[in-house]
Structure 1
Amino acid sequence: MEFLKTKGKNIITESGTPVWLRGTCVGGWMNMENFINGFPGTEISLREHMRKRLGEENGSYFFQEMIHNFLAEEDLAFIASTGATVVRLALNYRHFESDDAPFVYKEEGFRLLRETVDLCEKHGLYVIFDMHAVQGWQNTHWHSDNDRGISLFWSDACYQRRYYALMQEIASRFKDCPAVAGYELLNEPSSSCRSGDYPFNMYENFTSDYQTFNRVIHTAVDRIREIDKRHIIFIEGDSYGHNFSGLEAPFDDNLVYSSHDYIVSSFGPGAYPGQYEMLHNDRVEAGCYWDYEQQIRHIKETEGWQFSETWQVPLWVGEFGSQYCTGADDIPYRLASMDDQLRAFNELGLHWTTWTYKDCGTMGWVTLDPESEYMKTVSEVQRMKGLLGAENFTAWRSACPGKEVTGQFTRYVMSLLSESPNYTFGTFQKCMNYALLTSFCAGVLQPEYAKAFQDCSAGDIARIMRSFALLNCQVNEPYLELLRKRLAG
């Protein structure tokens, strides 16, 4: 494999051959997430509950076996067989550094990462290191392994110094590795919600702190370049990959810019092509008729596309995807939306990685078998999560008793506030849902999850965790069929 670099809007090898970075993300491995791994809440707090219930040794072994089975050589060979050229590995800083030992790096984390990169190279896959969870949390949400719902990273110089130092450590260990496409600095940064998500600072009321954002990004690039002058550096827009209008102009000759593109027709339910109403995810999206032409219009309206066109730099859509958990009758529409989205990306010359490769039945290329021992063991907790709406990513558009209660509470709180006319009901409830359902309710479900495994021996844990192995998973064949088609060009 050759080192990659940018040339205008293109990515090429050092010998000049064009390369399309198109493939998938691996979340749930070195950064676990609730809907991917089938647990409530966040990994950091769940690990503590598992240690208390299972003991120190088995509590640690539980997660080691989940990691071991989640991504193995068989998975990487399978990904490569589809025609994919890249995997984006979501990383949690806690695999490489502990909060109680800053600037002291964990060899076991780097050993696992090196072994995986070597396997990717063996199968012809480039790797993007995705800093999904950094010190102090770069956003307020669960996917940065954030159990507090606040973001300290942007206002704390100590967290930033630790982050820069870790990026240099990663660069020092992989600077001579051509299979590494590059370093993605921050996943889904959110510079302005430092005290949490509220109706006055989220969605339509979000305002990027570009001064701080640009300083942090520029400093990170400079620190990496002190060590590694060859690899691409990937920069994602603010506000979860959407805001680019205040980004500093490209200041290095080997930068790729990244946006995320979760669209309303990907989540359903409803016919596609068809009319879809407003969706609150990480931005406010107006309702309209969605078809292939709208997919094209939508991309060209994004700030990421406009930044790429203005500065003639490559654009990579680092995350997007449809959800296939909205009922059997709805799945063909989600596949049709995904197919049109991939077709539009290819038509416009974008690089892309789907979210995500493997999960517990939401949107993966492969998913755990619903009849597997793991899924049966966690079935009651999964049921309670669904009733409460305690899983943000899968509860955007679904009705549930938990959201009915927060809807009533939202109306009551708004009735008391003089500022209520400045807030929409949807934004207010979405922020409340995150605090009460995704954070608090998910947190109180964690002891229930741990209890389900409390009588397991090490042998039991090993057997149950084999549910995550590719051999025991189900491949979403209709999805894979369209992926192979779009990966071919």
Structure 2
Amino acid sequence: MAPPTPATRCLRVEGANIVDAEGKQVILKGCATGGHTNMENFITGYPGHESEMRKAMLEVLGQEKYDFFFDKFLEYFFTSSDARFLASLGLNCIRIPINYHHFLDDLNPSVIKKEGFKLIDRIVNACAAEGLYTILDMHTFPGGQNQGWHSDTGIHKALFWDFKVFQDGMTELWVEIAKHYKGNTWVAGYNPMNEPADPNHTALQAWYQRVEKAIREVDPDHILFLDGNTYAMDFTGFKEVLPNCVYAIHDYASFGFPAGEPYVGSPEQKEALQKSYERKVEFMKERGVPIWNGEFGPVYASPEDPNHGKINQQRYDLLGQQLKIYKKDEISWSIWLYKDIGFQGMVHASPDSPYIRLLKPFLDKKMRLGVDKWFAIPLGRDDSAVKHIYEPVIAHFKESILPEHVNKRYPQVWKIEGHIHRVLRETLMSEILCWEYASYFEGKTLEELDALAASFKLENCVKREGLNEILRKDAEGKD
């Protein structure tokens, strides 16, 4: 079927709805291409942060092979075949997470790299050819907009909020992006910042006001999709509604992770899902503005787990219940994740692919060490190999800090345990392990590097049919 003719104007906000040129409500349903133009450690298996990994890869490969491998990776990870597949499921909008390094060099931040536009244009155009809208999501920021490893800073603080020069630079970058995509009706809008975590709950509001005004001066039409604070889960500091803006939550459920209670669909569990969702969207419902759930979705058990069939059915049931909640409120959503190495994606690299075969020993070690703390637990692995190391450290901190101060550090929801793991495992240990990861690529020929990158081509991947069928049925309006 040929894609629809592009609209004569951009999607826009009208009351609590997103509407098209004719004023008809549009509910955006899709997924994110995470791991592509913003690489993440659990998605492709490296340790730590993308920038650290890339530096180690450059040291091992040299400039020519480094450029070749990553160019091929970016080429193969998302093509017209991927867009066609996603459209075949009835999805209508793809979120594109972007690492700011594709546009800015930290040593020359005043110059915007044109290569970044070529990279994102290719994805936007491939999706448009299949009738898919896109949302451009800035996933990383200089200094870090949050304390997480996925902000690609290599540190455990969000320094973006403390440096005006960072805020100036990213505002200017968004102005250039808005100039470039002005009038492109297949771009549903801009997601200026992924998962902000502003400890004071005021700097975020000030930057949103500033970037919204700056974008509107060059592109008055595109919607802005604004994440809540503290990883898109907290709107208590939001005081006003900006024009033509959709407000975004991230709605992960603990039932979707082995560390959480298995989902059996009990009335109590359904009520807990509903309450968690209602807490996050209270601001939007009170103000009568549209809601976008920019990320959600469980992780899935490996076929190596003897109970993987039962576990994954529970996860599918959980996902189905979440979609029922969203359907009732007619909100837009984007599931996390499209493609990875086998934990959460709609498709994943085959266990027999050159990439997985090469890195299997390292991936096993990475899991054994639990360096990606949240990542180890979803796989059903415990900390048995390192528990005796970290538990005394946590106990030492708790014994040494006054009880009323133990959990003062923002975000408080992490508690002292989370902050310790963030620094020791996900920052220090992971950073050093980057060289071991890179060492697996040492001495590879261009042909071998091409085959490794091609492991992420859609035709070489495995489709998670149970997940995809749920998304297809929802798109078709079936329960």
Q: TM-score, normalised by structure 2?
A: 0.92
Match of 1:294 in 2: 272
Output one character per residue of 1:309-368: Cα deviation in whole Å (capped at 9) or x when no partner. Answer: 111000000001110036413111111111111111111211100001001111100011
Inter-CA distance 228–403: structure 2 relative to 1 (3 Å threshold): farther
**Is the 8 Å Cα contact of residues 339 and 345 (structure 2) preserved in structure 1?**
yes
For 1:483 and 1:226, locate their aligned partners in 2 and report how far apart those are by CA, in whole Å.
38
CA distance in 2, matches of 1:368, 1:271: 27
Task: Give the counterpart letter for 1:340 in structure 2.
Answer: Q
Residues 289 and 306 of structure 1: is their aligned pair in 2 closer, same or farther, counting only changes over 3 Å? same
Corresponding residue for residue 296 of structure 2:
320
Q: How many residue pairs align between the two structures?
A: 457
Residue type matched to 2:46 in 1?
Answer: F
Partner of 1:377: 358
Do the aligned partners of 1:22 and 1:351 also contact (CA within 8 Å) in 2?
Answer: yes
Of 402-411 and 429-438, more deviation after overlay is shown by 402-411
What 5-or-longer segments of structure 2 have no aligned partner? Answer: 1-5
Q: Which amino acid aligns with 2:474?
A: R
Residue 459 of structure 2 corresponds to which residue in structure 1? 471
Q: Provide the residue aligned with 1:414 in structure 2.
A: 398
CA spacing shift, 1:425–1:69, aligned 2, 3 Å:
closer
Task: Please give the secondary structure, in 1, of the residue aligned with 2:357.
Answer: helix
Asked if structure 1 preserves the Cα contact closer than 8 Å seen for 2:248 and 2:292, the reply is yes
Deviations 1:444-475 (A, max 9, x none): 21111111110101111001111100001000
**CA 425–133 in structure 1, closer or farther in 2 if over 3 Å, else same:** closer
Residue number among 219, 223, 241 corresponding to 2:232 in the alignment:
241
The structural deviation recorded for 1:433 is 1.0
Percentage of pairs with the same residue: 32
Distance 1:7 1:307 in 2: 17
1:353 aligns with 2:334: yes
Shift of the 21–404 alpha-carbon distance from structure 1 to 2, 3 Å rule, reads farther
1:204 aligned partner: none
Partner of residue 32, structure 1: 39
Match of 1:394 among 375, 389, 403: 375
Whole-Å separation in 2 of the counterparts to 1:416 and 1:360 = 40
Deviation at 1:151, TM superposition (A): 1.5
SS state at 1:317 partner: strand
State how 1:58-457 maps to structure 2 within 5 Å. 58-192=65-199, 209-252=200-243, 254-268=244-258, 271-273=262-264, 289-291=268-270, 293-302=271-280, 305-325=281-301, 327=305, 328=308, 329-396=310-377, 398-400=381-383, 401-419=385-403, 422-423=406-407, 427-457=415-445
Question: C-alpha displacement at 1:425, in angstroms?
Answer: 11
Determine the C-alpha separation between the residues in 2 that align with 1:439 and 1:475.
32
Which letter maps to 2:421?
A: N
Distance in 2 (CA, whole Å) between partners of 1:76 and 1:99 is: 32
Shift of 1:395: 2.8
Contact 2:371 2:429 in 1 (8 A): yes
CA 1:237–1:425 in 2, change beyond 3 Å: closer, same or farther? closer
**Could you tell me how far apart the structure 2 residues matched to 1:164 and 1:421 are?**
36
Q: Distance in 1 between matches of 2:311 and 2:330?
A: 29
SS of the residue 2:36 aligns to: strand
Deviations for 1:399-428, whole angstroms, at most 9, x for unmatched residues? 222344212210122122223674499722
Q: TM-score, normalised by structure 1?
A: 0.90
Q: Is the 8 A contact 2:142 2:153 kept in 1?
A: no
CA shift for structure 1 position 440: 1.4
Conserved in 1, the CA contact under 8 Å of 2:256 and 2:262? no
User: How far, CA to CA, are the matches of 2:71 and 2:388 in structure 1?
Assistant: 38
Cα distance in 2 for residues equivalent to 1:251 and 1:452: 49
User: 1:437 deviation in Å?
Assistant: 0.9
Partner residue, 2:473: 485
Matched to 2:208, the amino acid is: I
User: How many Å separate the matches in 1 of 2:107 and 2:276?
Assistant: 45
Residue 16 of structure 2 corresponds to which residue in structure 1?
9
Mapped contact 2:265–2:318 kept (Cα < 8 A): no
- Give the deviation of 1:183 after TM superposition: 0.6
> Counterpart of 1:282?
none
Question: Which residue identity lines up with residue 120 of structure 2 in the other structure?
Answer: L
2:3 corresponds to: none
Q: Displacement, 1:150?
A: 2.0
Task: State the 1:268 CA deviation.
Answer: 2.7
Paired amino acid for 2:292: W
Shift of 1:210: 2.6
Distance in 1 between residues matched to 2:361 and 2:425, nearest whole Å: 17
Q: CA RMSD in A?
A: 1.8
Q: Secondary structure at the match of 1:378?
A: helix
Give the Cα separation in 1 of the matches to 2:311 and 2:152. Answer: 31
Equivalent position amino acid for 1:372 in 2: S
